[in-house]
Amino acid sequence: MQTDIPPRKANLAGFRESERIKTLDLPQDGRWASITQSIHAAMKAGHNADVRRACAEFLQSASAFYGVSDCSARVLAARPLRVREHWTSELFGDYTPETMLIRVWMRTAVRKEVTSFGTFLSTLCHEFCHHLDFQKFGFKDSWDTSGFYERAAVLYHYARGTPPKKLFWMPVVGERWRIDWQRTNRSA
């Protein structure tokens, strides 16, 4: 998990703004935990139709809470082989702003590894945060900035019902950052 390279001038202000916003409003009632538990149960049982239904329910409820247009999701058994270049670092999902469509897949294309529930839910939250970037924050583009990962993590832990973690970052080449998991997990 690395942040994107900062864009050229025209988009740099949006990128910096995305870095600055590190949190999201959340409902007070823990309303998504039961939905995500049913995603987990359906994955364990191998009932793909139920996984799809529960994902749609989660996205609908989240879109309503944030006051944004509904986005739809396609849950695919395996990752398509053709994935847009821009998203190749996204192992398990993508989001297309023009169609407001999220795709998540339960297996990688090549090695057929099964996605764990944690990875699957984290991907769903990650892609939903791209939706929020366009629809709630009004960004012209959506980048994986450090702030973006913070927002996605806030949503993920809340939706899963696990305590949030403080993320620690370390710089990598090319003005990019990655999460320092050792420090992050040690402090949790």
Give the residues lining the site for Zn ion (CB under 5 A).
144
Nearer to Zn ion, 35 or 125 (CB): 125
Give the shortest CB-86-to-Zn ion separation in angstroms: 9
CA–CA distance from 105 to each of 46, 49, 97, 178, 187 (Å)?
13, 13, 18, 24, 31
Per the listing, tokens 């270049």 go with 85
Give the shortest CB-51-to-Zn ion separation in angstroms: 21
Q: What is the DSSP string of 82-138?
A: ---GGGTT-SSEEEETTTTEEEEESB-TTT-PBPPHHHHHHHHHHHHHHHHHHHTS-
CB of 104 closer than 8 Å to CB of 92: yes
Q: Residue 76 has which token pair?
A: 């695919």
Nearer to Zn ion, 42 or 147 (CB): 147
Give the shortest CB-127-to-Zn ion separation in angstroms: 7
d(CA 87, CA 33): 28
Nearer to Zn ion, 144 or 150 (CB): 144
- Give the CB-nearest residue to Zn ion: 144
Give the shortest CB-29-to-Zn ion separation in angstroms: 28
Nearer to Zn ion, 22 or 31 (CB): 22
186 by DSSP, 3-state: which?
helix
Which value, to the nearest 10 degrees, does the dihedral of the CA atoms of residues 116, 121, 126, 132 take? 170
Nearer to Zn ion, 38 or 96 (CB): 96
Give the shortest CB-96-to-Zn ion separation in angstroms: 12
